[in-house]
A and B are shown apart, each in its own frame.
Chain A
Amino acid sequence: MNRKDIALALSLSLLVLALSLTISLEGLGPIVPRELRPLGASFVQNSYNPWNASLTSLSLNVVTAIVWDYRGLDTLYETLVLFASIAATLVVLRGYSELSGLGIKGLSDVSKSVTVVIAPLIVVYGIATAIHGHLTPGGGFQGGTIAVVAATLIIAVFSLEYLYRRGVSTSRLMLLRILGLLAIILTSLSLASIGMPSNVNAYILQNMAKDDSALSMPGVLFDTPLAGSIFLYNLFEFIIVFSGLTFAAMMLVLRESELESIKEAAEVYE
């Protein structure tokens, strides 16, 4: 054991000591408040409350109820920010071409067969996290990012060319992304567009029926709470995040000969 190891051990133990002292002396302040503030109390009381039909969202998960119902417009803009940032990747690398026949190698047979077993399970877990977003912790964004792990794993283990052969190209993923965003916008406008011709009062981003509006998204599927538009939003958000992040991962591992045509595209703009 040399001097470096001793210094490392001492500094690590000092760090742990300092952290525990800070927390035990309440240096962070009271973490859990003793009383619920009125806003928090109203969220807790109303997010799943079938007896107060004008304020509930029928979502058992309060966080999802806030994210997709009470402040749904904010989340819509978050989705747009993700959309725009992925589009920026495309703009930077515009003019690339997808070439097949550069040679598939991939990792060993053991890794490949295990990936074949694991990748569908990861996708299923991601979908479950997304469409159970109103029942358990999770949601569309979380489910999408979980499912992207499967795509990244396939790129790493099987190579990019395997995805091309399976028909997963960047242009199709882009199309899927746009369709997902369109579906979210149409869902948010659906009740208002149903209500307008028949002269019934309805709102944009409306989920459950309100005091002055009788229209409502389906709240219950058989005996399971569906939370109306929250379920749909989570599903479409899953599609957007999954296709968008897979798109970004594919852009980042493009081979050198696929990027050569970028120069020509750049010269056109000069």
Chain B
Amino acid sequence: MVVNLLPLVLGLTAVTVGAFFDVVSAIGILKLPNFFTRVHSVTIGAIGGSVLPLIGVALISIALEDLGPQRFYLVGTSIVGAIFILILAPTGAHSLARAAYTMCQAPRKPLIYDALENMKEGASCR
């Protein structure tokens, strides 16, 4: 029983922290000023709010012995899903932000210093 308590507590903590990240990300989407910062807040929701709770679900299902051997399928699916989101969500956000930056489709208004603009030709939009 004590052996099961550790993954259970860790898993529940992960799910709770994930819920916190989700709330933070939702507030960020509503409050942040421009597209690039909002993409940042979406990825907070994807990594903190999906990957972490999925790992939490895997830990919880290790602890719940009542589920029988079927629970290891749940563990595997959760971990694989977490890894996929971990790889794919930042890539999607990167592609979105890069496309919006190079095609000048989003205003960069609160920007103070733009290092990319000097590195790449044609990246400045007037």
Using CB atoms and an 8 Å cutoff, list the residues of chain A in contact with chain B. 107-108, 110-111, 114, 117-118
* Bound Cα distance A107, B97 (Å): 12
Contact pattern, B 83-112, Cβ under 8 Å of A = 1, otherwise 0: 010011001001100100000000000000
B40 to chain A, nearest CB (A): 16
Q: Which residues of A contact B94 (CB under 8 A)?
A: 108, 110-111
Q: Which residues of B contact A111 (CB under 8 A)?
A: 91, 94-95
Residue of A nearest to B102 (CB): A108
Using CB atoms and an 8 Å cutoff, list the residues of chain B in contact with chain A. 84, 87-88, 91, 94-95, 98
State which of A108, A117, A118 has its C-beta within 8 Å of the C-beta of B95. Answer: A108
A149 to chain B, nearest CB (A): 12
Q: Which residues of A contact B91 (CB under 8 A)?
A: 110-111, 114
* Bound Cα distance A114, B85 (Å): 12
Interface of A is mostly: helix
Find out whether the CB atom of A114 lies under 8 angstroms from the CB atom of B87: yes
Residue of A nearest to B99 (CB): A107
CB<8 Å pairs between A and B, sample of 8: A107-B95, A108-B94, A108-B95, A108-B98, A110-B94, A111-B91, A111-B94, A118-B84
B81 to chain A, nearest CB (A): 12
* Bound Cα distance A118, B89 (Å): 12
Q: Which residues of A contact B87 (CB under 8 A)?
A: 114, 117-118
* Bound Cα distance A173, B98 (Å): 33
* Bound Cα distance A108, B98 (Å): 8
Q: Which residues of A contact B88 (CB under 8 A)?
A: 114, 118
* Bound Cα distance A29, B104 (Å): 53
Residue of A nearest to B94 (CB): A110
Q: Which residues of B contact A114 (CB under 8 A)?
A: 87-88, 91
* Bound Cα distance A13, B20 (Å): 25
Q: Which residues of A contact B84 (CB under 8 A)?
A: 118
Given A111-B94, A117-B87, output 16 extra A-B contacts at Cβ < 8 Å.
Answer: A107-B95, A107-B98, A108-B94, A108-B95, A108-B98, A110-B91, A110-B94, A110-B95, A111-B91, A111-B95, A114-B87, A114-B88, A114-B91, A118-B84, A118-B87, A118-B88
* Bound Cα distance A107, B91 (Å): 11
* Bound Cα distance A114, B84 (Å): 10
Q: Which residues of A contact B98 (CB under 8 A)?
A: 107-108
* Bound Cα distance A158, B91 (Å): 15
* Bound Cα distance A200, B98 (Å): 67
B101 to chain A, nearest CB (A): 11
Residue of B nearest to A110 (CB): B94
A198 to chain B, nearest CB (A): 46
Q: Which residues of B contact A110 (CB under 8 A)?
A: 91, 94-95
Residue of B nearest to A114 (CB): B91
Residue of B nearest to A117 (CB): B87
